[in-house]
């Protein structure tokens, strides 16, 4: 054994302890600035040129008009626009998987910007948290949530590759073509993992059936895999041959020493229902065959056909999915079952046309959807005598109230317990701890799957996990170096400021007069700073277990 090893280990431990102490001290003493009233300042808000923003607004207004027509026909009164902080919370949850921090809210309050939500959206689109979160959500669509075959699959590399592409605002058709027509080794060419995740131990090549299902659902929003074993029934026009001819485009894909490649000698065979023998299946597309190129490898031709501007299913599929990511509910349900020939809901065709016209610009698509009345609508009526109805929610005349996804819940608990923002600038040790805590919570709470937008009610075990589990208990305990509630209790200049800071940190809003009076009175009974800190921990625990915290609205 190296005699220097114990000394080295001790030095490393001291170094890490010093780093954590410094970070904790900085977080502790930085609270006073966050609790102080914000000082207004002039800033040049990040964003787009005026002409470009006006063009986005023009498209959004056209989408609004299509919804308004439906509301008029159904005699539905829209709920009206919500407040800026609610929009900021929605954007943060949809694009980063977490609520905004108190630090971020104080920054937004200090700005002299005409449109704070648009300023915030521009900030988030440039924030690595957004590309990382959206990459994970898209990876669930493309390759699922399992780790797959280790020898030929690296999910983390694929997610990182997707994040880089989203950060650079790479056109979505380029991303799709790279995945479908990928080549090389899965470690150095991360897009190859879209194919290698289907590797079968008893077969040299990938699983053509799984890949055909992924292509049709993920990129085209069509569930053609329902006819894998037999022709469509109950009025379906799909045939078993439609699906397997699509799968045949992956028939030449082969795994070799130099990674994924195409082998012209390989063929795709299947035994159709009612047949005695397997037969060689030609590669054909199930609709718009005129868009299929005459030259190129099968996967190259398929990638070109899928992303062709005339193949509008490709644009509709991403419009529906991005809408679902922003609202936690798609325009068309299920998210990957959009009828090829309609009818389509209001706004879908306009959004798809705009997406195509602007070269599949994902950031523009997000901006257009966020600029619509539907996204900016309140989830509750301003008139208590006429509450929001289910019909209004279904017609997007009110923002749909939906339960947070497990990773959103965990991310929000952790962020609410830290007054400063947890982002790419945060020390790596804190970020690693956050990722581990989120993963553990999602595993215990129950992962919602590849890309589920089902808004089912929480189970009793899930509710008990929130109330009694380590996630909320650890992040609300009386620890001044780890938990925001305790720091607020120790450093807030008065009880009213303490209550306001807690509400902003957890609900992204200020307390109502009745809420402020109630909790300020409770804190006033504390005889010392320490007892007030303990009371603040109780307040944090109460607010985090409130229904309002665990729902998007």
Average pLDDT over residues 497-506: 95
Residue 260 in contact with residue 254, Cβ under 8 Å? yes
What CA–CA distance (Å, rounded) separates 533 from 70?
A: 52
Distance CA 283, CA 241 (A): 10
15's tokens = 């170094």
In whole angstroms, give the CA distance from residue 434 to residue 101. 15
Residues 353 and 46 sit within 8 Å (Cβ to Cβ):
no
Residues 62-90 have a mean pLDDT of 96
Which residue has tokens 């890309």?
451
Give the model's confidence band at 503: pLDDT under 50 very low, under 70 low, under 90 confident, else very high.
Answer: very high
Name which residue leads in pLDDT, 87 or 386: 87
Separation of alpha carbons 372 and 351, rounded Å: 11
Q: What is the DSSP letter of 63?
A: H
Q: Shortest CA distance to 407 belongs to which of 444, 456, 459?
A: 444
- Given a contact cutoff of 8 angstroms between Cβ atoms, the answer to whether 187 and 154 are in contact is yes
Give 317-371 pLDDT, tens digit per residue.
999 999 999 999 999 999 999 999 989 999 999 999 999 999 999 999 999 999 9
d(CA 175, CA 413): 33
Half-sphere exposure (CA, 13 Å, Cβ side) for 523?
Answer: 31
Comparing CA positions, the residue from 100, 142, 19, 147 lying closest to residue 432 is 19
The gap from C-alpha 495 to its chain's centroid, in whole angstroms, comes to: 36
Q: What is the reported pLDDT for 27?
A: 47
For residue 270, the cross-strand partners are: 279
Q: Can you tell me the mean pLDDT for 547-552?
A: 92
DSSP β-bridge partners for residue 81: 377
Residue-wise pLDDT for 278-323, tens only, equals 889 999 999 999 999 999 999 999 999 999 999 999 999 999 999 9
Residues contacting residue 14 through CB under 8 Å, at least 6 positions apart: none
- Is residue 5 scored above 80 in pLDDT? no
Cβ(212)–Cβ(285) under 8 Å?
A: no
Q: How far apart are CA 414 and CA 431, in angstroms?
A: 11
Helix/strand number for the chain, H first, E second: 27, 6
Q: Is the bond into 334 cis (omega within 30 degrees of 0)? A: yes
Task: Give the mean pLDDT of 182-205.
Answer: 89
Residue 310 per-residue DSSP state: T
Asked if the model's pLDDT at residue 32 lies above 70, the reply is no
For 137-168, the pLDDT digits (tens) are 999 999 998 887 778 899 999 999 999 999 99
- Name the range with the highest mean pLDDT among 33-37, 169-173, 529-533: 169-173
pLDDT in tens, 95-110: 999 999 999 999 898 8
Bridge-partner residues for 145, per DSSP? none
Q: Kindly state the tokens that stand for 29.
A: 């003493």
Predicted local confidence at residue 41, as pLDDT: 59
**Of residues 438 and 77, more confidently modeled:** 77
Non-local CB neighbours of 229 within 8 Å, separated by 6+ positions: 240, 273
Instruction: Classify the C-alpha dihedral 216-217-221-227 as positive or negative.
Output: positive
| pLDDT computed for residue 40 by the predictor | 56
pLDDT, mean of residues 120-149:
93
Q: How far apart are CA 258 and CA 199, in angstroms?
A: 16
Residue length of the chain: 553
pLDDT digits over 508-547, tens only? 999 999 999 999 999 998 877 677 778 888 898 899 889 9
pTM, two decimal places: 0.90
Residue 14: the pLDDT is 52
Average pLDDT over residues 214-227: 91
CA 542 to chain centre: 27
C-beta atoms surrounding 39 within 10 Å? 8
Residue with the larger pLDDT of the pair 388 and 47: 388
CB 398 within 8 A of CB 388: yes
């Amino acid at each position: 054994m190296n005699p220097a090893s114990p000394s080295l280990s001790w030095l490393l431990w001291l170094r890490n302890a010093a780093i954590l102490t410094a970070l904790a001290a900085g977080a502790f003493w930085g609270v006073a600035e966050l609790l102080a009233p914000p000082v207004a300042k002039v800033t040049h808000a990040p964003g787009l040129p005026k002409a470009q923003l006006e063009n986005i607004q023009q498209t959004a207004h056209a989408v609004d008009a299509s919804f308004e027509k439906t509301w008029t026909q159904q005699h539905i009164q829209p709920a009206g626009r919500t407040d800026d902080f609610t929009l900021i919370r929605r954007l943060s949850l949809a694009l980063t998987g977490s609520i905004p921090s108190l630090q971020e809210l104080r920054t937004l309050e200090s700005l002299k910007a005409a449109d704070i939500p648009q300023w915030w959206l521009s900030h988030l689109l440039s924030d690595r948290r957004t590309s990382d979160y959206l990459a994970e959500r898209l990876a669930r669509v493309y390759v699922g949530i399992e780790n797959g075959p280790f020898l030929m699959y690296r999910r983390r590399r694929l997610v990182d590759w997707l994040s880089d592409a989203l950060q650079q605002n790479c056109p979505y058709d380029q991303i799709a073509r790279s995945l479908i027509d990928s080549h090389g080794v899965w470690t150095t060419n991360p897009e190859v993992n879209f194919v290698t995740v289907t590797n079968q131990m008893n077969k040299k090549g990938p699983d053509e059936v799984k890949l055909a299902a992924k292509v049709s659902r993920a990129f085209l929003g069509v569930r053609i895999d329902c006819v894998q074993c037999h022709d469509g029934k109950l009025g379906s026009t799909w045939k078993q041959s439609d699906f397997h001819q699509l799968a045949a485009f992956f028939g030449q894909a082969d795994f070799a020493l130099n990674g994924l490649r195409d082998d012209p000698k390989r063929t795709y065979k299947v035994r159709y229902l009612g047949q005695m023998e397997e037969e060689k299946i030609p590669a054909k597309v199930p609709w718009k065959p005129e868009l299929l190129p005459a030259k190129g490898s099968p996967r190259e031709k398929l990638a070109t056909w899928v992303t062709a501007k005339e193949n509008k299913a490709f644009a509709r599929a991403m419009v529906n999915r991005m809408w679902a990511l922003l609202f936690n509910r798609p325009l068309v349900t299920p998210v990957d079952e959009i009828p090829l020939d309609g009818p389509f809901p209001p706004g879908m065709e306009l959004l798809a046309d705009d997406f195509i016209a602007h070269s599949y610009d994902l950031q523009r698509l997000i901006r257009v959807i966020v600029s619509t009345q539907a996204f900016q609508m309140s989830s509750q009526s301003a008139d208590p005598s006429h509450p929001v109805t289910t019909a209004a929610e279904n017609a997007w005349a009110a923002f749909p109230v939906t339960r947070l996804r497990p990773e959103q819940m965990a991310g929000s608990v952790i962020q609410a317990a830290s007054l400063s923002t947890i982002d790419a600038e945060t020390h790596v040790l804190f970020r690693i701890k956050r990722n581990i805590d989120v993963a553990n919570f999602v595993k215990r709470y129950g992962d919602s799957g590849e890309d589920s937008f089902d808004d089912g009610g929480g189970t009793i075990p899930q509710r008990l996990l929130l109330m009694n589990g380590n996630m909320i208990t650890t992040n609300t305990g009386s620890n001044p170096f780890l938990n925001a509630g305790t720091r607020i209790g120790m450093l807030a200049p008065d009880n009213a400021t303490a209550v306001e800071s807690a509400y902003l940190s957890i609900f992204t809003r200020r307390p109502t007069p009745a809420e402020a009076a109630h909790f300020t009175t409770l804190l006033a009974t504390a005889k010392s700073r320490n007892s007030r800190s303990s009371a603040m921990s109780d307040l944090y625990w109460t607010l985090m277990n409130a229904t309002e915290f665990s729902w998007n609205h």
